[in-house]
Structure 1
Amino acid sequence: MEMRWFLSKIQDDFRGGKINLEKTQRLLEKLDIRCSYIHVKQIFKTSDYPVVLSLENHCSTAQQEVMADNLQATFGESLLSDMLDDFPDTLPSPEALKFKILVKNKKIGTLKETRERKGSDKRGDNQDKETGVKKLPGVMLFKKKKTRKLKIALALSDLVIYTKAEKFKSFQHSRLYQQFNENNSIGETQARKLSKLRVHEFIFHTRKFITRIYPKATRADSSNFNPQEFWNIGCQMVALNFQTPGLPMDLQNGKFLDNGGSGYILKPQFLRESKSYFNPSNIKEGMPITLTIRLISGIQLPLTHSSSNKGDSLVIIEVFGVPNDQMKQQTRVIKKNAFSPRWNETFTFIIHVPELALIRFVVESQGLIAGNEFLGQYTLPLLCMNKGYRRVPLFSRMGESLEPASLFVYVWYVR
């Protein structure tokens, strides 16, 4: 599942204030932040599958009620505000939620209680939600923490159905207490540590609950981590700073070329079945693929900063996936020809877990003093590659098409 968030942070620092969409938009325009009203038809232009609207909510209860009114007025029937009759105690498939918008936020009570309140006046009806650590019977497994109370407006709480935000405590706590509609967000540092120390428990957790991984707070420059390590253990939502181009965003864009670019990809069977003992760092069995790529030539490669077609061009082919599959190979350098270089070189890769593998083509111009200059790249899932003679389009660092720049290759693989 791709992380497709409309992240909203609206914090009221004065009493009696009201959220005003027009004023908010004018403020953002003054700050040179692009902002436009959301049209439901535009949301589902690329894909019919559901969109998750994640609220970073720091509002008073009065403003939460205004938020609830705005959400209902903006999205209308597309906003999922009640559980589906066929899924009272299990998560629906994306197919069952087509053309629906789901709100992710804190929630009070159960889905059954939400249905019972449907149609009633919820204004001014607010509840406190305690956040702390519960004690498990028998032994003390968690340190005592001070509980704090969050004020949550029922009007907003009742718009949260299958995407209730719940703080992650431990895998054991989740197995005993976590409900099917509760989602966890785990910071990259903690998630990386858990993926090394308790990988089987982590994968089991992602089979039952939607799990989101987010960048650590110290990334003040909005840099990104490599999302592949968390896709390898089945995390459904891997949050990245989309405003920052580079390798992580190339992998993100390439990963979701699969399934028609719909934003949803079915996880491999070994990440879905309950009796699987898959460990991305210790592959004991499988059906590896032998991938052969003959890189024939380049076509009108992008110009270097010197605006010359006489650059010294080379291509790097990289494989991203489980640790044992990650590797790269490089062509020789074609001197003073970036317009139509010819390599005619063949590369072979043995890939043990092809279901998780991504192939990345990177074109560079060799620089002896300042280092190589990036010209273009293209990333795609291995199993989306068609056999035979193929044209590989190139994209800029910002993800823009560089047509007609491309590579001409021959692809073959056997299992």
Structure 2
Amino acid sequence: MAPMSHEKSETRWFLSKIQDEFRGGKINVEKTHKLLEKLNIQCNYFHVKHIFKDNDRQKQGKITIEEFRAIYRIIVHREEIVEIFNAYSENRRILFESNLIEFLTQEQYAVEKAKSIASEIIQKYEPIDEVRKAHQMSLEGFTRYIYSSECLLFKEECAKVYQDMTYPLSDYFISSSHNTYLVSDQLVGPSDLWGYVSALVKGCRCLEIDCWDGSQDEPVVYHGYTLTSKLLFKTVIQAINKYAFMTSEYPVVLSLENHCSPSQQEVMADILQTTFGDSLLSDILNDFPDSLPSPEALKFKILVKNKKIGTLKETRERIGSDKRGKVGMWEEEEVEAEEEEEELKSLEDDGFGSKDNQGKEIETKKSLGVILFPKKKKIRKLKIALALSDLVIYTKAEKFRSFQYSRQYQQFNENNSIGETRARKLSKLRVHEFIFHTRKFITRIYPKAIRADSSNFNPQEFWNMGCQMVALNFQTPGLPMDLQNGKFLDNGGSGYILKPHFLRDIKSKFNPNISANDNDPIAITIRLISGIQLPLSSSSSNKLDTLVIIEVFGVPNDHMKRQTRVIKKNAFSPRWNETFTFIVQVPELALLRFVVENSGLIAGNEFLGQYTLPVLCMSKGYRRVPLFSRAGESLEPASLFLYVWYVK
């Protein structure tokens, strides 16, 4: 197709799409926005509003068809994309299929499949009939391709379950939440079913349920000894049953913080069995009598994590002889008291118990609820109903004593929960023992009790140790949850990610705290080209002073942070064209986080959006980085445009 005929066909196509909207004359900003969306162009309304105002020559709040075309070109025909298009177009008007194949090979690293997908891309994204039928691509089509999901930074291969799911459960990182029922703080905030629903929708596979005796023999869920509101255990289980496998088909672990009397534990057991039915794992799998099964073997199964009386063999014998319903005894202190004692002990170790820190100690204990909401400090032996105990199969909650004790006595189906303070000390002082432990046993790390505001720790330090269940307060946005959401984008968002070989191999000497590991580092080069319609609110101008921070999280030596210069008064299309290089020693554990900010002078920078993903889930070439709000909501079409290259 000759250049002139192409230009005419483009004009003809454009007018055919929009002229009906102008039959009544000019259009306002709302109709302008709707017309852009009709043309399959995603637009932020507030950006459109600012551009509309700049192009409304008569300043009457309405524009002509010519003014609309000018607005369209400003939004769609971005300079940086036009430059790429022109570099591969022989006439700066169209791409022949051979030109597109060259672009896909040279820039997008689709070497093996460039020829097979070029024709598909043209058919899918080229909007002009004559151009598409000639197996060519216009700037319109090329732009739509660049804006598509096919050019996102996150690899399409990582968006589906691609890892081997037949290893034991202990070989996986498992998406885990803490105090899942809370949607606010730990002391007076509301308990809400939405906590469970939203966590499951995000792919969370380990939910925490604090269970207490309720009235009329109905167990309740809430944060004990506090003023948080209460939920019926029954309604929590019903909500979990409805949403458990909506996002992922792999097993869900219910981590019970059980404070109920034996009679109400029997009610809990009955609710679990009647609600989940065959989905509830209530017996060992024939293929796994003395080892942990795999996520694959436990598809669509619910596992109960709780204290347990006796061994799995004894449970099977008891079930066979129908002796359920009797009461056994926990030989250890109540779980919640156990956690609190551990946290208070660690505070004393850190100097809180000294005379010089008595005031600080009182304030700390107040935040724990020790003074405001008194707890019985004495260790008590508690009774457990065998009906509930017998539902605990591969996830028996066992108090962590020491690594040496675990090596000698811990059974394959016993899991530990360790508070962040103790876990942090162990990760510094007992690195090899810690990793040896997590190779064999599922280990859950939970936030320290003084986090009354539901704040979170950085989960990366415990993933580096191979800890499977690093439990966070999902309701609290910020860096820790950005890392959590970014990490579990991998493997199809299934909530299970196979740990790197060096955290599974018994012969590995891996130590995340040193640089001399036997790993294959990668060099990542990122050319941050531009921003696309960066987030605006109704009150903000599009004249923001924008900058981008790129940060690597992983083992301590891989932690790096780079920042662009500030582009003044431009949130619509800031151009940075800055190149950054990162040498990542342990890419298997590394995450890359992009943060966009509005530069502030007095109050500090304003957060605009972020995106986090695993380093090894990055595609090469020209890529778009979608942005998400602090709460994790999509801010499309706001994104960053960059070029990525790395060698492994």
Corresponding letter in the other structure for 1:19: E
User: Which amino acid in 1 is paired with 2:572?
Assistant: F
Aligned counterpart, 1:400: 633
Partner of 1:129: 330
Any residues of structure 2 matched to 1:277-288 within 5 Å, and which?
Answer: 277-284=509-516, 285-288=518-521
Indicate if the aligned counterparts of 1:108 and 1:127 stay in contact, CA closer than 8 A: yes
Q: For 1:98 and 1:336, how far apart are their aligned partners in 2?
A: 52
| AA partner of residue 57 (structure 1) | N
Cα distance, 1:116 vs structure 2: 1.5
Among candidates 245, 267, 272, match of residue 71 of structure 1: 272
Q: CA deviation at 1:119?
A: 5.5
Partner of 2:187: none
Amino acid at match of 1:390: R
For 1:23-42, list aligned pairs within 5 A: 31=229, 37-38=238-239, 40=241, 42=243
**Structure 2: distance between partners of 1:165 and 1:207:** 17
Query: Counterpart of 1:127 in structure 2: which amino acid?
Result: G
| Per-residue CA distance 1:343-397 (angstroms, 9 max, x = gap) | 1111000000000000000000000011000000000000000111111000000
**Corresponding residue number in structure 1 for 2:442:** 210
**CA positional deviation for 1:5:** 3.0
CA distance in 1, matches of 2:540, 2:379: 62
**Offset, 1:259:** 0.3
1:7 corresponds, among 205, 208, 215, to: 208
Kindly indicate whether the alpha-carbon contact (under 8 Å) linking 2:219 and 2:260 is maintained by their aligned counterparts in 1.
no
User: Which runs of 5 or more residues in structure 2 are unaligned?
Assistant: 1-173, 177-204, 223-227, 334-377
Tell me which residue corresponds to 1:289: 522
Match for residue 259 of structure 1 among 485, 491, 508: 491
Alpha-carbon displacement from aligned partner over 1:145-195 (angstroms, at most 9, x marks no partner): x97422010000000000000000000000000000000000000000001
The change in CA–CA distance for 1:75 and 1:323 in structure 2 (over 3 A counts) is: same
Q: Helix, strand or coil: the match of 1:118?
A: helix
Residues 70, 52 of structure 1: alpha-carbon distance in 2 compared, 3 angstrom cutoff: same
Q: Tell me what 1:373 maps to.
A: 606
Q: Distance in 2 between matches of 1:148 and 1:67?
A: 21
Q: Choose 1 or 2 for highest CA Rg.
A: 2
Contact 2:597 2:609 in 1 (8 A): yes
Distance in 2 (CA, whole Å) between partners of 1:295 and 1:350 is 17
Is the Cα–Cα contact under 8 Å of residues 206 and 469 in structure 2 kept in the other structure? no
Tell me the secondary structure at the aligned position of residue 201 of structure 1.
Answer: helix
AA in 1 matched with 2:510: F
Secondary structure (helix, strand or coil) at the match of 1:265 reads strand
Identify which of 382, 401, 407 aligns with 1:169.
401
Q: TM-score, normalised by structure 1?
A: 0.91
CA RMSD of aligned residues (A): 2.1
CA distance in 1, matches of 2:480, 2:618: 20
Partner Cα separation in structure 2 for residue 108 and residue 325 of structure 1: 44
Distance in 2, matches of 1:369 and 1:174, equals 53
Q: Among 250, 270, 275, which residue is 2:482 paired with?
A: 250
Match in the other structure for 1:356: 589
The aligned counterpart of 2:411 is: 179
List per-residue Cα deviations over 1:59-89 (Å, max 9, x = no partner).
0000000000000011000000000011111
Residues 1:54 and 2:286 are matched in the alignment = no
Q: Which amino acid aligns with 1:276?
A: S
1:306 deviates by 4.3
The structural deviation recorded for 1:19 is 1.1
> What residue in structure 2 maps to residue 103 of structure 1?
304
TM-aligned CA distance change 1:88 to 1:123, over 3 Å: closer
Question: Are 1:229 and 2:461 counterparts?
Answer: yes
Equivalent-residue separation in structure 2 for 1:130 and 1:117 (angstroms): 20
What amino acid maps onto 1:56 in structure 2? E
* Separation of aligned partners in 1, 2:231 and 2:630: 21
2:422 to 176, 185, 190: 190
Kindly indicate whether the alpha-carbon contact (under 8 Å) linking 2:330 and 2:382 is maintained by their aligned counterparts in 1: yes
- Give the residue type in structure 2 aligned to 1:376: G
TM-score relative to the length of structure 2: 0.59
Query: Which protein is richer in strand relative to its size?
Result: 1
C-alpha contact 1:360 1:378 (8 A) present in aligned 2:
yes
Instruction: Please name the residue that 1:27 is paired with.
Output: none
Pairwise CA distance, 1:307: 1.4
Q: Percent same amino acid among aligned pairs?
A: 78
What residue identity is the alignment partner of 1:2? S
Alignment of 1:134-149 (within 5 A): 148-149=380-381
Structure 1 equivalent of residue 554 of structure 2: 321
* Counterpart amino acid of residue 487 in structure 2: K
Q: Establish whether residue 270 from structure 1 lines up as the match of residue 502 from structure 2.
A: yes
Structure 2 letter corresponding to 1:328 = K
Q: 1:155 aligns with which of 373, 379, 387?
A: 387
Which residue, out of 58, 77, 85, partners 2:286?
A: 85
Cα deviation, 1:88-127, whole Å, max 9, x if unaligned, reads 1100111111110000000001111111222555565101
- State the match for 1:137 in structure 2: none
Contact 1:304–1:375, Cα closer than 8 Å, also in 2: no
Judged with a 3 Å threshold, the aligned counterparts in structure 2 of structure 1 residues 130 and 354 are, in CA distance, closer, same or farther, namely same
Specify the code of the residue in structure 2 equivalent to 1:216: K
Q: CA deviation at 1:130?
A: 1.3
- More helix per residue: 1 or 2? 2
CA 1:159–1:32 in structure 2 vs 1: closer, same or farther (change >3 Å)? closer
Give yes or no for contact 2:318–2:324 (8 Å, CA) kept in 1.
no
Q: Which moved more, 1:116-125 or 1:344-353?
A: 116-125
Q: Is the 8 A contact 2:213 2:219 kept in 1?
A: no
Using a 3 Å threshold, how does the CA distance of structure 1 residues 65 and 122 change in structure 2: closer, same or farther? farther
Aligned residues: 394
Shift of 1:6: 2.9
Q: Quote the offset at 1:20 in angstroms.
A: 6.3
Whole-angstrom distance in 1 between the partners of 2:567 and 2:407: 57
